[in-house]
Amino acid sequence: MNKIYHKNEVSFAIIMIVIYVIGTIISETISETIGFSKLIPAIFHVLFSLITAVWIVKNGHTEKYGLTLPKYKLARAGFFVPLIIVACSGLIFGIKLNYGPLETVLFVISMCCVGFLEEILFRGFLFVGMAQKNINSAVIVASLTFGIGHIVNLLNGQDLVKTIFQIVFAIAVGFALVILFYKGKSLIPCIVFHSLNNSLSAFEKDTSDAAKSLLADPELFEMICVIIYITILTIYSFFLLKKLNVSQE
């Protein structure tokens, strides 16, 4: 790992992303085959998270990749309110246990690890590696690849329209989080949001169920939700660009 990393950090990031994507697809396929849908992905995500975290700590890269507490004052936690709103918005339409008790626990563990891994891979390795040459390109590529990476859900059998909405939403999330990391120098808030946003899906009603309860067209309803989320995240991103600057504090 170190040899590839020192030769080209961006190539290292891409290799790690490919391992993560392929590993996730294979582990989910195996789980479906054995009839225990959350077991193998949880094992893979935990192991890959541990390997990645140990490598970062061992090589002294914790600060480089933002695995430190935010340096800005905690009183400025109001910065996180839009993220909390987006992460918890699905609960507004009702709470529903989408999996059995054991599968729910495995899913939450897996999603917390996914939150860590995707932040480290896209906002950490990829963004930081590219930012050394061109910060603007780094922001754009890190945001787009994070969003497009969710096409893996289509390969796992998810509906095309839902996958498209998810990709667009993920691009907006990716942009907001990369700005939060770039301006705040800490990846911890990004990891917490990402893990929370993923994990809560185990307890949220599907948007199609919520649409039916409101007598609305499911696709139109989901489109409206995505537009609202993108608006919130876009405003939040530009707010961070203007107001958050650790170096000034």
Query: Residues 60-85: pLDDT tens digits?
Result: 999 999 999 888 776 666 778 899 99
First and final C-alpha spacing in the chain: 36
Element (H, E) at 41: helix 39-58
Q: How far is CA 97 from CA 15, 85, 89, 218, in A?
A: 36, 20, 16, 20
Which residues are within 8 A (CB) of 49 and not within 5 positions of it... i.e. 6 or more apart?
113, 116, 117
A 10 A CB-CB count for 233 gives 23
In degrees and rounded to multiples of 5, residue 53 shows phi and psi of -65, -45
Q: How large is the angle between the packed helices 81-88 and 160-184, nearest 10 degrees?
A: 160
- Alpha carbon 75 to its chain centroid, in Å, reads 25
Examine the pLDDT at 41 and tell me if it is beyond 90.
Answer: yes
Q: Which of 176, 162, 180 is nearest to 232 (CA)?
A: 176
pTM: 0.88
Token pair belonging to 52:
């990645």
95: three-class secondary structure by DSSP: strand
Highest mean pLDDT among 14-28, 83-97, 218-232: 14-28
Query: Residues 109-143: pLDDT tens digits?
Result: 999 999 999 999 999 999 999 999 899 999 999 88
Return the percentage of the chain with pLDDT > 70, whole number: 90
Element (H, E) at 153: helix 152-155
Output the pLDDT for position 248. 44
Instruction: Quickly state the pLDDT bin for 196 (edges 50, 70, 90).
Output: very high
Examine the pLDDT at 157 and tell me if it is beyond 80.
Answer: no
Q: What share of the chain is helix, strand, coil (3-state, %, to 5)?
A: 80, 0, 20
Say how far apart CA 231 and CA 237 lie, in whole Å.
Answer: 10
Output the pLDDT for position 249. 45
What length is written for the chain? Answer: 249
26: three-class secondary structure by DSSP: helix
56: three-class secondary structure by DSSP: helix
